[in-house]
Structure 1
Amino acid sequence: MSNAANSATSELAKTMQAIVLEQPNQAMTLSELTIAVPDCADNELLVKVEYVGLNPNDGYYAKNGFCQWQYPHVLGVDAVGTVVNAAKGIFPGVGERVMWHASLADQGVLSEYAKVPNYAVAVIPKGVAGEEAAALPCAGMTALIALDKLEVTQGDTILIEAGAGAVGQFAIQFAKLRGADVFTTAAKRNHQLVKKLGADVVFDYQDKKLCEKIRRELGPNGFDAVLDSVGGEATIRNIELMRFCGRIACLKPLPHFDQQLMYRKAPNIGIVSLGGAWLTNSLCAQQKMSFMSNLLLDGIAKDKLQLPQLNLVNFNATEISQALAKQLAGGFTGKQIVKVCQ
């Protein structure tokens, strides 16, 4: 490691345990492998990983792979840990607890150690537990980016799809802080949860008369904004429910749109992509993720933000594979957090 003056390299481990994907497979079968501890450039931190937050995309890519991966590939993008090696003068330094959202294209963070550029991390405030911080990056930043794209302000009406999901839970809370009237969809068993988070009106996403009931509740005007985390036919339905020139932020690939619908509604369509900040080598976007991380951490530290229910998963291939399957099965409302080491 070059210029790693803040820690004695000889004292660091040379190898580490990692959870890897040998090849994409529908069963999401993973393996435990001993690999080399990564070498770091001058602006990179070596972090001893303590917790990793699992996301639906982890399961999707375990099944389907990613075009820039080489195998075996270490999974995981949301991590919390302690800096154990950093170049002289680099902030944050050795001993700081940090949180970050990693590059999808590079090796992931389900390992005992990981490297990350120093400008892409956020220092965790005292009093915020590691497992709490690990629940924040992907879901929390996705919610914030979506609301920024939607330009949600005081008095707006917004529909947040899948309000009981991790992204939905954060989005409901931030939308209310911006003064919006929040409508959301959720399974009946989760209606009380989303109302507690601040949702004004909740609909059963399985209701066959969903559109009719939304229009009855909303009145003649459509939604000013929609956070669409479902995709497919739901995206088309949501545009129908928007006002003319309404705004929609999409987390999933876009469906084929009927041109008459586009002409009639003239929607402003935004795409939300955290991974793009890394895939396009946008330093500005990567730094912005660090700023958003600080906002999320501050919300937890000051008890202004409620986390989804946390479920700890052991650091082994079998349990993580099972957790990813649970994530993709649907109906999961919490955050699964892998405890790597302390």
Structure 2
Amino acid sequence: MQALVLTKASEDFELTETQLTVPSVGDGQVLIKVDYAALNPVDSKLAKVGHSVWQYPHIPALDGVGTVVDSYSPHCPLIGKQVLWHSDLSKAGALAEYVAIEAHAVSLLPEGVEPLQAAALPCAGMTAILALCKLQVEAGETILIEAGAGAVGQFAIQLAKTKGLTVLATASKANHKLVSCLGADHVFDYRDKHLVDKIKQALAYQPLDAVLDSVGGEATARDIELLRFNGRIACLTELPEIDAGLLFERSPAIHAVSLGGAWLANDLCAQQKLSMMGDHLLELLASKQLHVPEIHAIDFDAEKVTNAMHKQLAGGLVGKQIVKITP
């Protein structure tokens, strides 16, 4: 089969095209003919540093959509059906014509859902769901969603509004219209020197109930300062060092959000929840209650996909980069 692979992880990583053997189907797995692979920032970050159990050449891309062509069981009802998945980061990914995935972690595409649209869902959409679940948000509460124009932010804004939240979001000025159209009640320029004051004004000087922090760094401490006592913050990036006095004053519930942990912790229940989250996102997409970010089509070409992955790291990308695998 044709595949795009990393021969090593490095800051200046590049993919090469190669021919590999079609993967065998292990116990509990399905073999999928890949239609689309979605690129996420985590794919590019891993390409820089690798993973301790990777064997090279390694196939990247955790998200995909494709058709099940074989299974560990000849009676598997998934055979012939289109599915999406978010895969184990320690194993081969979706930038290949075929991939073997655990059957309990895939989600069946409903009739009428375009596979290209579905490919934009897994990593960003599941991350948004998981973050909001950890935050235990309720109708009537306020939430600040950092990087509202990012893929996670776009999904989180829409999901938060369905829960009856008042949504505040940060984004560059160029993306304020987009973020507002997604449902954000207040949008702020993340570069604004008076950002904190403007957020406080929008809240009538009341503290926030929750924050979805996909930025990290100095923004994390700033966001904790905006929280009420015992407020909640979900962090998608590495936690910075936070002043002990601020933690004592706010006593926040700090939640780390990691989809990959479901696989790395070998937690079968958490892996099944990935499938359930995928099902929920697909239902919302099918009923037109959820819109995916703008899709940027990428050819199944080593140089073009390499450039696209480096673009993920540069920041500022609005939309999802999707690679069409099957001609």
Structure-1-length-normalised TM-score: 0.94
Q: Is the contact made by 2:25 and 2:72 (CA closer than 8 Å) also made in structure 1?
A: no
Do residues 270 (structure 1) and 227 (structure 2) align? no
Once the two structures are TM-superposed, the CA of residue 312 in structure 1 deviates from its matched residue by: 0.8
The answer for the alignment partner of 1:228 in structure 2 is 213
Q: Is the contact made by 2:170 and 2:187 (CA closer than 8 Å) also made in structure 1?
A: yes
In the alignment, the residues of structure 2 paired with residue 24 and residue 42 of structure 1 have an alpha-carbon distance, to the nearest angstrom, of 29
Once the two structures are TM-superposed, the CA of residue 323 in structure 1 deviates from its matched residue by: 0.6
The answer for the alignment partner of 1:290 in structure 2 is 275
When the two structures are aligned, how many residues end up with a matched partner? Answer: 327
What is the 5 A alignment of 1:106-255?
A: 106-255=91-240
Q: Which amino acid aligns with 1:120?
A: A
The answer for the alignment partner of 1:95 in structure 2 is 80
In the alignment, the residues of structure 1 paired with residue 249 and residue 49 of structure 2 have an alpha-carbon distance, to the nearest angstrom, of 37
Once the two structures are TM-superposed, the CA of residue 89 in structure 1 deviates from its matched residue by: 5.4
Once the two structures are TM-superposed, the CA of residue 130 in structure 1 deviates from its matched residue by: 1.1
Once the two structures are TM-superposed, the CA of residue 186 in structure 1 deviates from its matched residue by: 0.3
Q: Which runs of 5+ in 2 are unaligned?
A: none
In the alignment, the residues of structure 2 paired with residue 317 and residue 70 of structure 1 have an alpha-carbon distance, to the nearest angstrom, of 19
Once the two structures are TM-superposed, the CA of residue 65 in structure 1 deviates from its matched residue by: 1.5
In the alignment, the residues of structure 2 paired with residue 142 and residue 92 of structure 1 have an alpha-carbon distance, to the nearest angstrom, of 28
Once the two structures are TM-superposed, the CA of residue 29 in structure 1 deviates from its matched residue by: 1.0
The percentage of aligned residue pairs carrying the same residue is 53
The answer for the alignment partner of 1:337 in structure 2 is 322
In the alignment, the residues of structure 2 paired with residue 304 and residue 219 of structure 1 have an alpha-carbon distance, to the nearest angstrom, of 30
In the alignment, the residues of structure 1 paired with residue 37 and residue 112 of structure 2 have an alpha-carbon distance, to the nearest angstrom, of 18
Q: Is the contact made by 2:34 and 2:325 (CA closer than 8 Å) also made in structure 1?
A: yes
Q: Is the contact made by 2:209 and 2:231 (CA closer than 8 Å) also made in structure 1?
A: yes
Once the two structures are TM-superposed, the CA of residue 69 in structure 1 deviates from its matched residue by: 1.5
In the alignment, the residues of structure 2 paired with residue 114 and residue 17 of structure 1 have an alpha-carbon distance, to the nearest angstrom, of 11
In the alignment, the residues of structure 1 paired with residue 76 and residue 186 of structure 2 have an alpha-carbon distance, to the nearest angstrom, of 45
Once the two structures are TM-superposed, the CA of residue 39 in structure 1 deviates from its matched residue by: 0.9
In the alignment, the residues of structure 1 paired with residue 33 and residue 126 of structure 2 have an alpha-carbon distance, to the nearest angstrom, of 23
In the alignment, the residues of structure 1 paired with residue 77 and residue 229 of structure 2 have an alpha-carbon distance, to the nearest angstrom, of 47
Q: Which amino acid aligns with 2:140?
A: G
Q: Which amino acid aligns with 1:54?
A: L
The answer for the alignment partner of 1:41 in structure 2 is 26
The answer for the alignment partner of 2:4 in structure 1 is 19
The answer for the alignment partner of 1:78 in structure 2 is 63
In the alignment, the residues of structure 2 paired with residue 201 and residue 90 of structure 1 have an alpha-carbon distance, to the nearest angstrom, of 51
The answer for the alignment partner of 1:8 in structure 2 is none
Q: Which runs of 5+ in 1 are unaligned?
A: 1-15
Q: Which amino acid aligns with 2:244?
A: Q
Q: Is the contact made by 2:129 and 2:159 (CA closer than 8 Å) also made in structure 1?
A: yes
> Which digits, 9 at most, give the CA deviation of each residue in 1:20-75, with x for residues without a partner?
11111222311111111111123210000010110011111112222221221110
What is the 5 A alignment of 1:296-335?
A: 296-335=281-320
In the alignment, the residues of structure 2 paired with residue 90 and residue 61 of structure 1 have an alpha-carbon distance, to the nearest angstrom, of 36
Q: Is the contact made by 2:143 and 2:167 (CA closer than 8 Å) also made in structure 1?
A: yes
Q: Which amino acid aligns with 1:224?
A: D
Structure-2-length-normalised TM-score: 0.98
Q: Is the contact made by 2:125 and 2:152 (CA closer than 8 Å) also made in structure 1?
A: yes
Q: Which amino acid aligns with 1:57?
A: V
Task: Identify which of 46, 66, 72 aligns with 2:51.
Answer: 66
In the alignment, the residues of structure 1 paired with residue 232 and residue 200 of structure 2 have an alpha-carbon distance, to the nearest angstrom, of 17
Once the two structures are TM-superposed, the CA of residue 219 in structure 1 deviates from its matched residue by: 2.4
> Which digits, 9 at most, give the CA deviation of each residue in 1:229-263, with x for residues without a partner?
00111111100111111000000010111111110
Q: Which runs of 4+ in 1 moved over 6 A?
A: none
Q: Which amino acid aligns with 1:334?
A: G
